[in-house]
Structures are given as structure tokens and as C-alpha cells.
A and B are shown apart, each in its own frame.
Chain A
Amino acid sequence: MNMGNTGASQSGRGMARHAPTSRRGRVVLAKPGLDGHDRGVRLVAQALRDAGFEVIYMGLFQTPEAIAEAALQEDADIVGLSVLSGTHLFYSQRLMSLLEQRGLRDRVKVVVGGMVAQKDIPRLRELGVAAVFPAGVMVRDVVQGIEAQMGAPAP
């Protein structure tokens, strides 16, 4: 598995983070806004951890600002938003521009999971979201999708 993030040396990643558990990459997961449905994101967090990713699940009620900050501080390869309240376009757009402001747009890939209507998937892709996992996909497919992102070029 490709390490994905080519900026490892200048990003200040400590050697400890290259221990076997983190070899596949660092994923920050968060639930933005007030949506409390966290059954899916917790399952994804566990599965990614089991697959060898280093997972930082920020929990509920996160602001886009806090998520962007965590992406920077945690030197994330992937940021995953879980949204089941229909607010995915709003929060994705907000997050993408905050990542841009922090110069992370090309280093961090954003993925979105949750109750996403089919017609919103192209809209999310246009915003720069690398992958969308609508409710109903298998957790193993989410893990595979994220693994694939680790090796793929920026969208």
C-alpha cells in the first residue's frame, strides 16, 4: 500500500507514526453539525483501524473549522465526513474551502458518507470530494474505497 501522502518528511511526522499500525495512513473522521446518527461512522472507524489505518474519530457536533484544524494538526491523509441529516453539501463545501486556506487541498483527501441522494454525488465531486459512500454501502467497500484513495492522485 502506497503511503499516499508524499509530504511526510516536511510535515513533521514522527517516526512513531510509521509503526506498523499507521503504515496505511491517517484518517480523521468527524460528524459535522448537529446530526447524532453515529452508528455508521463508528463502524467505519473500527473497520479502518482493523485494516491498519490510524484513525482519529473526532466525534459528534464538529464545526468545519475544527475538522480542518484537526486535519492539519493530525497530519491527516484522509478526512471523512459522516452526514445523515442532508447537510453534506453545506459542510463539504465549507471544509474544502477551509482546507484550501490552510494549503491542505492537495494533501488531504476528503470523503463523505451518509444519506446522500444520487443527484448530490456529482455535486460533491465537483466540490473536490474524492469519494462518496451513500448509506447502504458495505463497510468493507468503504474501507476498500479509502485504501484506493491512498494510492490515487488528488481529484
Chain B
Amino acid sequence: MSYPDDTESLETGLPKWHREKLAPSLKRGLRSGEFATRTSRIPIGHLYTPQDLGAAAYHETIGFPGQYPYLRGVYPTMYRGSPWTIRQVTGYGDPEETNRLHRSLLEWGQRGFFLVCDLSTQMGYDPDHSMVEAEVGRVGVPIATLADMEACYRDIPIDRVTTAFAIGAVAPVMAAMYIAMADGRGLPRDRLGGTIQNDVLMEHSCRNIWTLPPGPQLKLCLDLAEFCVRRVPRFHPMSICQGQYQEAGLSTVTSSAFMLANTLEYLRGLGERGVGVDEIAPRLAFFTYTHVDLFEEVAKYRALRRLWAHLAREKLGAKDPDSWAMRMGAATGGSVLTRQQPELNMVRSTIGTLASALGGVQSLQAATVDEAYGIPTAQSIKLSMRTQQVVAEESGVADVVDPLAGSYYVEWLTSETQRRIEERLAEVERMGGALKAIQTGFYQRTTVEESRQLQGRLESGELPVVGVNRYVEAGSHDIEPFEYNPAYRDRAIQRLRQVREARDQRRVEEALDLLRAGSQRGENLMPAIIEAVRAYTSVGEIYGALRDEYGEYRGLTVW
């Protein structure tokens, strides 16, 4: 795939340039340190030329956007049709406050929400549980019953905005509430859009959010996916995550491989239920984080799309082109932000935004300036959103499809990244797949190892971070983070109490019996869960019943 006319001049010209120009310059030396990508340590050469593009034909390796191999993007028009969806995080102390933020975001021009629940909700506890005394409304909104969900979305047109839910282990219950809310508003289920994270393998091996042992948790996750494929066809019932692994200190390569290995595991499980790859794959969403090495990140996105297209078509036998297209929602990384000189975090977020756009993602949350201190304030969310609007509308990045294609370096790095991801993926598959690799602690040990290396490079100064190991300034640079209000918990308990008083308790008991019976029979539990949430059964009551059936899980501590 070189430029035919240039082949000869390149073959003679490059060695000549090396000899006559480069060698004398090299005698004066280069800057110290190694040249390699930031997280994956892929050695970077001095200069890339058409010789680095490989021998394969253009249409096979690069091709066109909106068709196999999707390297250049999942849609033919990409951001010329419409820019990526700006999806800043929401989910505050209580449903009313969350609702206010939702309305502000709509007013500011945002059309996608990214709803984060508090940890008690994410782990299936009610706000009055003894374990969650300090947690209610702390890092997101508590949603104990359908009433809380309805309050978050009061006067929000859910047929015109989409929400991505970061809701940990309770995806089936949150999806059930969202569906029940739509039913209640008379919105047909086939018009309900949105994305639910529902990535239990990641939760178990990385983010450490779980309610049940991995096996039953996986069953529930697949119940939701199967149900949505058949009944809520516009909904993305799984958003499979690369980003959390990268945030935990894994390289772009390893984190991408784990995401793909998890995906293959889910598809195997669904296949056993008779859900064909062409039924589920077009509904899959992928969730990624973008850090600050612009080219490493762009290469990651492009490599992932091409690799997934290949896997879906060749390994999984998918026939529908929609199955081959990897749609990605992204966030710029919080783990690369610093407490020191926090205003620089906006620069890091801007680079991440640019890299995500150059990588061709479908939606983006840009990290906020205050994220190294706590959860973001409404003002810092607005700043991140405006930053994205500047990149989308002023920088020109959204005016052409896949602008970096054909860059010798970017194409070479894309191929090299892909090759390394494939190797890592094969390693997991040889172990028997993702579930086995997680149950035996392989993911966890790899995370320990890679994050330790990363920290070592940070502390030695080999990995430059301005304000931390370079250009350090004395003094504190504190900023005012979001202030937690202890009344959130009281109000959450109060709301739950009111719901419990008002609801038909017999209907709740019947719904929970149905749920227990269904789990004993090994049925798909989504219809029972929807019935339970419609009866205003709480998250804690539903997971209480499931924990009785399936047992609790204490996790695997690897360090």
C-alpha cells in the first residue's frame, strides 16, 4: 500500500537520508529518555514513511467509513452528519437535584445524559441499610424505587434524549425501572433508546462493584441483554468497557484485549441461549477512556474498530454489517488528572477530547477540572461541555472523516496496536476465556503488575506529568469540590418510607415470590424484575431476594 511512483526514490532515498542527514544530526544527540507510547510502551521510531504501511491493499486494511473494516469510522458521514453526542455526567445527591441538572444540560444544548448512581444503589442496597450509612447520594444519585427514577426524569422527554447508565451491578433493575417509566408514559418499548453499562465481568475484575457471585451476576446480565434484543430493540443493553481497565492502570493494549475477551464471553453465553450474533452485536455499545497520548489513543480507537470488524465477521460469523461496526462511547480519563495545578486538567481533557474525536467515537464525556478532588460541580460540568463544543465546532476536527488516515505514523501505530491487542486477547482465550481468567485472578494480577510499573515510571520521573514530576510548584492549589449534604440520606430514607407506605404490599410480596421462583427455575428474570419495580419494590428488596437465592460474594483480593 505504498505510493507506486515513490517506491524507487524511497528505497534509495531513505538510506541516503539516513546516511547523509540523520547520522550527522544524531551525533549531536536526541533528548534523553525513551521514545515509546505512554501506556503501552510501544517503541516509536524516528520517522515513518510509506515503507511502514505494509503490503496489504488499501481497501482491505484502510477502506472507507461506514463499511468493513470500519477503520475509518462506523458511519459514512461521521461528524459531518452530526458531531459526537456530548454526554456529561449527571447524578447528584438526590433525584430532584439530578432532575434540575438534567434540565440545565438540556438548556445548555446537551442531548445525552450519563447518569451515575450512588454506590449503595450500584451494589443493591437500600438507603436505610446499615452498610451504606455514609454512601447515600455521595458519588451519584440514589435510586431505590421507580419513584426515584421518575423524579430524575420529570418533564424530560425520554423519547428525545438518550441516557447512558453507569449503575454497576444493578443494571437489570435500573433498566427495568427505565422501561417501566417509559411504559407508564405510554412510550412504545420499540422507541426507547439508551445504553446501560451491564458489564459484570468488568465490574468483577476491575471496578469492584458486585452484589452476587460472578456466575449468577453473569446470568442476570445476559437476561437483560436477551430481553432487550427481543423486546426493547433500540436499547443498547450492554456497554462493554475498556476504559475502567485503563483507569486502573492497564495499558491501552491490555485494557482493549480484556474488553474484547469479555465481549466474546458474553456472546458465547448469549449464543447458548439461542441469541445469534447478528441479533446482539448490532446492539452492543463499547465504553472507553481516552488518556493524554494523542496518537496512542487515536491508534487504539482505529485498531479496535478494525479488529472488532474482523472478529465479528471472521471469528463469530456475523453476516449483518451492523454487527461488524464497533460503536464507542468515551470519556476522557480521570486518573490522568492531577491535584497539583488543577487548571491543567482542562488541557488534559481537551487533548482527550481531540483524541477521541480523531479516533471517531460516538459520544464523549470530558473529565472536569475538579475531578481529582471529588465529584464535579455543575459549573465544572458546564466548562467541560463548553470545551467539547469548542473542539466540535471551532477546531475543524468534525469537518472531515477520519482526518489522520494515511499518516504513516498513525497507520503504522494502529496496526502495531492491533497486533498487540490480538496477542493479549489470544492469551486470555487460551486460558478458557474471560470468566476463567477472572476467576483465577489473571486479570487482577495483570492489573497489579501493570499499574505498579506505571506508578514506578511516574515516581522515577520517566513518565512526565507536569506539576507532579516536572515544573512542580510549591503551595496548595485547592479548589472547591462538590459539597456533600448529609440530608441526602435522610431524604432518601424518607422517600423510601413514603413509597413503602403507599404501595400495595401484597403485590410486592407476589412479585418477589415470582422472582424467587423464576431464579429457581433458571428463567430469564427480566419480566419478574419489571413487575417488581412496577409494584415499587426497592432495589434492596430485589437484591435481597436474589442474594437469598444465589448467595453473597466477597470478592478476590489480589495485590
Q: Which residues of A contact B (CB under 8 A)?
A: 33-39, 41-43, 45-46, 57-61, 63, 85-87, 90-91, 115, 117-119, 134-136, 138-140
B131 at interface, CB cutoff 8 A: yes
Q: Is A59's CB under 8 angstroms from B132's CB?
A: no
Q: Is A117's CB under 8 angstroms from B481's CB?
A: yes
> Can you list 28 A-B contacts with CB-CB less than 8 angstroms, sorted by A residue number?
A33-B119, A33-B131, A34-B119, A34-B131, A34-B135, A36-B207, A39-B335, A42-B558, A43-B452, A46-B448, A46-B559, A57-B557, A57-B559, A63-B131, A85-B119, A86-B138, A86-B375, A87-B138, A90-B133, A90-B134, A117-B374, A118-B476, A118-B478, A135-B339, A136-B339, A136-B372, A138-B459, A139-B455
Size band of the B side of the interface?
35 or more
Supposing A43-B452, A59-B557 touch, asked if A36 and B374 sit within 8 A by C-beta, the answer is no
Would you list the 3 A-B pairs with minimal beta carbon distance, nearest first?
A: A36-B208, A118-B478, A59-B557
What is the count of residue pairs linking A and B with beta-carbon distances less than 8 angstroms?
87
Q: Is B374's CB under 8 angstroms from A86's CB?
A: yes
For chain B, residues 421 to 457, give those with C-beta under 8 angstroms from any C-beta of chain A.
Answer: 447-448, 451-452, 455
For chain B, residues 453 to 510, give those with C-beta under 8 angstroms from any C-beta of chain A.
Answer: 455, 458-459, 468, 476, 478, 481, 484
- Scoring A42, A57, A59 by chain B CB atoms within 10 A of each residue's CB, the highest score goes to A42
Contacts of B468 in A (CB 8 A): 136
Complex alpha-carbon distance, A42 and B555, angstroms: 15
Q: Is A38's CB under 8 angstroms from B138's CB?
A: no
Q: Which residues of B contact A (CB under 8 A)?
A: 119-120, 122-123, 125, 131-135, 138-139, 207-209, 248-249, 335, 338-340, 372-375, 447-448, 451-452, 455, 458-459, 468, 476, 478, 481, 484, 554-555, 557-559
Q: Is B555's CB under 8 angstroms from A35's CB?
A: no
Secondary structure class of chain B's binding surface, majority of residues: loop
Complex alpha-carbon distance, A63 and B123, angstroms: 15
Neighbour of B455 across the interface among A43, A57, A87, CB < 8 A: A43
Complex alpha-carbon distance, A46 and B478, angstroms: 29
Instruction: Determine the residue in chain A with the shortest Cβ distance to B342.
Output: A136
- Scoring A33, A34, A138 by chain B CB atoms within 10 A of each residue's CB, the highest score goes to A34
Q: Is A34's CB under 8 angstroms from B132's CB?
A: yes
Q: Is A60's CB under 8 angstroms from B557's CB?
A: yes
Supposing A57-B559, A115-B373 touch, asked if A36 and B209 sit within 8 A by C-beta, the answer is yes
Q: Is B135's CB under 8 angstroms from A87's CB?
A: yes
Contacts of B373 in A (CB 8 A): 115, 117
Neighbour of A91 across the interface among B134, B338, B554, CB < 8 A: B134
Contacts of A136 in B (CB 8 A): 338-340, 372, 468
Contacts of A119 in B (CB 8 A): 478
Q: Is B374's CB under 8 angstroms from A140's CB?
A: no
Complex alpha-carbon distance, A5 and B210, angstroms: 38
Q: Is A34's CB under 8 angstroms from B123's CB?
A: yes
Minimum distance in angstroms from A95 CB to a CB of chain B: 12
Complex alpha-carbon distance, A140 and B484, angstroms: 31
Minimum distance in angstroms from A86 CB to a CB of chain B: 6
Contacts of B476 in A (CB 8 A): 118
Q: Is A34's CB under 8 angstroms from B120's CB?
A: yes
Contacts of B559 in A (CB 8 A): 38, 41-42, 45-46, 57
Q: Is A85's CB under 8 angstroms from B138's CB?
A: yes
Q: Is A139's CB under 8 angstroms from B555's CB?
A: no
